[in-house]
A and B are shown apart, each in its own frame.
Chain A
Amino acid sequence: MDVYLPIANLSVNGLWIVALGGLTGILSGLFGVGGGFLTTPLLIFYGVPPTVAAASASTQVTGASVTGVIAHGNRGGVDYRMGAVLVAGGVFGAGIGALLFRFFRSIGQIDVVISGLYVVLLGTIGLLMARESIQVLRGTGAAKQAARRRHHPLVASLPMRWRFYGSGLYISPLAPFIVGIAVGTLTMLMGVGGGFILVPAMLYILGMSANVVVGTSLFNILFVTISTTMMHSLTTKSVDIVLVVLLLLGSVTGAQIGSQLAVKVKPDALRLVLAAIVLVIAFRMFLGLFYQPEEIYTISPL
């Protein structure tokens, strides 16, 4: 089924794109991540221009996270106050990200910056997740898990404390605001929802209670990807609505299948699988930095 993408200026096989959306949807349903970290590189690999891929992937993540937010919100799994602070930081960060994006593009280094970020972030998080899930599966990490989580000492030193009931925290709103900025910047640069960065940051830096982490993360992703979509529409003008619809057809369906699968599988085995996927992508991108690229020359309009 040939579909012409008007913004990407390209004809693609529509079924492939739907299948790609479905794959990321299953992942997002299974693991509570947006799946943008998979969509963007695969779209680029398929021949979609990188900017269009990043912009459209972030719009897709919006749709994929809506269902999750509703489900988590109904059972009280979203700390709206914390979410609002994170979103405020995220929108601010998306603005910074847009400026950085433009700067790196003007000096021609945006590809290297994106690949480098992918390698460093996915590599670190993949390793952390793999280590933790292996420990849990072996039963050695159980004692550590039982210990009460506390936020990072730096967070405690920030002034002006607020009460976050859902998260069970009494900390300065500056801490989640800064986390929000960082995630928003990365979202804009990498075309990802930022869930795979936000969830560990919430657990290990802010010390939020685990039952609101996934819901609040999805809440943040929802609004940050909305602002990223707007930012891309207004600046790079590279959101391809046809591509978005195709991706969404797959991902909203996949998300449902994924969330039903998630109930049946052991969570730590799941996390090990996710860690493996993340590490494979990071490793592939790492090699890509050092291998001679297929194209030595790249064209950009003046």
Chain B
Amino acid sequence: MKHLWLILFAVLLMGQRDPILVPDVSQHEVQVRQGFTGTELLLFGAILDPRGQRAGQDYDIIVVLKGPSQPIRLREKERFAGVWMNADSTDFRSAPAFFAVAASRPIGEIVDEKTAAIYEFGTSYIQLSPSGVIDTEEQQRFAAGLVDLRERQDLYKEDPQGVQIRENVLYQARISLPSSVTTGTYTAETFAVSRGRVIASALAEVEVRKVGFDRFITDSSQNYALAYGLIAVMLSVGMGWAAGRFFAMI
């Protein structure tokens, strides 16, 4: 609350008219450990009017949660002599591992298409930085394919009713992360929109990381590949042998 008042005070001194956003996330660290089946993040915050009163006008809030960007190659299957096999492919240099948009109203009613494209308000506006294929139509087909695939994996999503605003001051959005999330730094960006114009935005970060046993396993498989392989072999030989002995006894 102290920070809040400070910010408010600073804004008052500057005499700026745009409201400010104070966002937060229910947890700044998501721990992926044994039994992890996904989690739900609560993104919440307040919109403050610089004049110190309750925001007099109606705002719309859009929240964009983005996972770490990865360079990927997307392959497309086609039919060759009756057999479905990979044919064309294209590279995307920055495909986010996770992408979710939540808004207080359908995006189309809040902003125009151009603004939506600039701020990535929607799965169809994700900036994927394609490389390789130059043909725009083909690029769009591949991008749509990627979005469709990840939407069904619950990794990309849009929820036009996902943000609740109370009394034009407090807002909250719930976004669920499936168990297959990639680890890394996630950014939650909140935008306040009024009359089709983004008037304030603020950023919060969420760290998704593996901890404990699962982190140990992942690290060992990467850094101590030889020992990891030997342990896997010994484990399976040991279990096979032990089972043989056990069943021979009974």
Per the bound structure, the CA–CA distance linking A109 and B89 in Å amounts to 12
Per the bound structure, the CA–CA distance linking A234 and B85 in Å amounts to 28
Q: Is the CB of B35 within 8 A of A109?
A: no
Chain A min CB distance to B66 (Å): 17
In the complex, A296 has a CB within 8 A of chain B: yes
In the complex, A64 has a CB within 8 A of chain B: yes
Given A11-B37, A233-B228, A298-B86, answer yes or no on A4-B243 (Cβ-Cβ < 8 Å): no
B interface residue numbers (CB < 8 A to A): 32-38, 70-77, 82-86, 89, 91, 95, 142, 145-146, 148-149, 179-182, 210, 213-215, 217-218, 221-222, 225-226, 228-233, 235-237, 239-244, 247
Q: What 0/1 pattern do residues 49 to 63 of A give for CB contact below 8 A with B?
A: 000000000011011
Q: Is the CB of A7 within 8 A of B237?
A: no
Q: Is the CB of A237 within 8 A of B32?
A: no
Which residues, 1 to 43 on A, are CB-close (under 8 Å) to B? 2-4, 6-7, 9-11
Per the bound structure, the CA–CA distance linking A244 and B235 in Å amounts to 9
Closest to A300 in B: B73
In the complex, A159 has a CB within 8 A of chain B: no
Chain B min CB distance to A67 (Å): 4
Per the bound structure, the CA–CA distance linking A48 and B149 in Å amounts to 16
Given A67-B243, A293-B84, A297-B146, answer yes or no on A11-B229 (Cβ-Cβ < 8 Å): no
Q: What 0/1 pattern do residues 271 to 302 of A give for CB contact below 8 A with B?
A: 00000000000000000011111011111111
Q: Is the CB of A248 within 8 A of B236?
A: yes
Q: Can you name 15 A-B residue pairings with CB atoms under 8 Å?
A: A2-B37, A3-B34, A6-B217, A10-B179, A11-B36, A70-B241, A112-B83, A232-B229, A239-B228, A244-B235, A248-B235, A293-B84, A296-B76, A297-B146, A299-B146
In the complex, A71 has a CB within 8 A of chain B: yes
Chain A residues, CB < 8 A from B210: 6
Given A299-B72, A299-B74, answer yes or no on A244-B180 (Cβ-Cβ < 8 Å): no
Chain A residues, CB < 8 A from B247: 256
A interface residue numbers (CB < 8 A to B): 2-4, 6-7, 9-11, 59-60, 62-67, 70-71, 108-109, 111-112, 226, 229-230, 232-234, 237, 239, 241-242, 244-245, 248-249, 252-253, 255-256, 289-293, 295-302
Chain A residues, CB < 8 A from B239: 63, 245, 248-249, 252
Q: Is the CB of A289 within 8 A of B76?
A: no
Q: Is the CB of A253 within 8 A of B86?
A: no
Per the bound structure, the CA–CA distance linking A234 and B34 in Å amounts to 25
Give the residue of B36, B179, B182, B225 whose beta carbon is less than 8 angstroms from that of A233.
B225
Chain A residues, CB < 8 A from B85: 109, 111-112
Chain A residues, CB < 8 A from B38: 11
Give the residue of A6, A244, A255 whose beta carbon is less than 8 angstroms from that of B236.
A244
Give the residue of A4, A234, A296 whose beta carbon is less than 8 angstroms from that of B214.
A4
Closest 3 CB pairs of A and B: A233-B229, A66-B240, A11-B179
Q: Is the CB of A230 within 8 A of B229?
A: yes
Chain A residues, CB < 8 A from B232: 59, 229, 233, 239, 241, 244
Additional 11 contacts, C-beta under 8 A, given A4-B32, A66-B244, A297-B149 = A4-B35, A7-B218, A65-B240, A108-B86, A109-B86, A112-B85, A237-B225, A241-B232, A248-B236, A299-B72, A300-B75
Q: Is the CB of A63 within 8 A of B236?
A: yes
Chain B min CB distance to A190 (Å): 17
Chain B residues, CB < 8 A from A66: 236-237, 240-241, 244
Chain A min CB distance to B94 (Å): 11
Q: Is the CB of A60 within 8 A of B222?
A: no
Given A11-B36, A299-B72, answer yes or no on A248-B240 (Cβ-Cβ < 8 Å): yes
Closest to B218 in A: A6
Given A233-B221, A256-B247, A299-B72, answer yes or no on A67-B86 (Cβ-Cβ < 8 Å): no
Closest to A113 in B: B85
Q: Is the CB of A3 within 8 A of B35?
A: yes
Closest to B221 in A: A237
Per the bound structure, the CA–CA distance linking A30 and B42 in Å amounts to 52
Q: Is the CB of A292 within 8 A of B37?
A: no
Chain A residues, CB < 8 A from B243: 67, 252-253, 255-256
